[in-house]
Amino acid sequence: MLAPEPKTWAQNHLTRIAQSSFRVETEDGLVIAVDPFSPSAAWTKVDVVLITHPHYDHFNAAVVRSLLKEGTRVIVPASIQESGADQGLATDALAPGETKKVGTITVTAVRAYNLGKPQHPKNKDWLGYVFTVDGLKVYHAGDTDLIPEMEDLAVDVALLPVGGLATMNAPAAVQAAGLIHATVVVPMHYGKVPFTGSAGRKFARLWAGTSVLA
């Protein structure tokens, strides 16, 4: 079975709820929530929850609980589970570089951190994720700057922060998109923080490749 065309897949299977929060539905109906923190009518019960780090605009325990059903897997950074910041919700914990098979998807934990900013220190071992669904590699970068570890990635669909301040800004995200050989980029982490509302459109103007404003 051939993998779908990445832009069409992103348009049909990704729903950006807010900030870096996404609902992903695979072609066989498996539903993934990434960084659910905000209540929304777009949410449904999910099969997998991926949490990148415990900041309030990425993790809300009450919202996560509202998405759970029997058998839902909640994957968090191992450092969060160890500290108890997952509030007992984690079913699985990953450290950077670890991979786990969850149903029909494969999830690999990758580093996400700041260079020269205090908000997301490397020693916290917070994460982005590369998950393989419908034959495509999808990268949710988490809250990160342009970091050397990105050189090891090659993905079909990249969800990249573009808002600046605590993450990459749009020009840095353009560099990251080239570094990881992204076929399609979906900008994220903009709109909630003041003065970041146009960052997604700015990225789309600067990036010579294909982008989707989810």
Q: pTM, whole model, 2 decimals?
A: 0.96
Nearest to 108 by CA among 118, 116, 98: 98
pLDDT score for 1:
60
Q: Quick: pLDDT tens for 124-143.
A: 999 999 999 999 999 999 99
Q: Which fold has domain 6-211?
A: Metallo-beta-lactamase; Chain A (3.60.15)
pLDDT of 194 over the 70 cut: no
- The SS3 of residue 63 is helix
Q: Are strands 105-111 and 127-133 parallel, antiparallel or unpaired?
A: antiparallel
* β-sheet bridge partners, residue 18: 21
- The SS3 of residue 130 is strand
CA 97/CA 108 separation, integer angstroms: 7
Residues 6+ apart with CB under 8 A from 41: none
Cα 106 to Cα 19, 45, 145, 188, distances in angstroms: 24, 20, 24, 22
pLDDT score for 197:
81
CA 208/CA 194 separation, integer angstroms: 26
H or E element, residue 90: none
- Identify the band that residue 196 occupies on the pLDDT scale cut at 50, 70 and 90: confident
Q: Quick: pLDDT tens for 172-181.
A: 999 999 999 9
At 155, list the tokens: 């993905």
At 110, list the tokens: 């990758």
| Residue 10 · residue 24 · CB < 8 Å | no
Cα 58 to Cα 64, 150, 153, distances in angstroms: 10, 21, 23
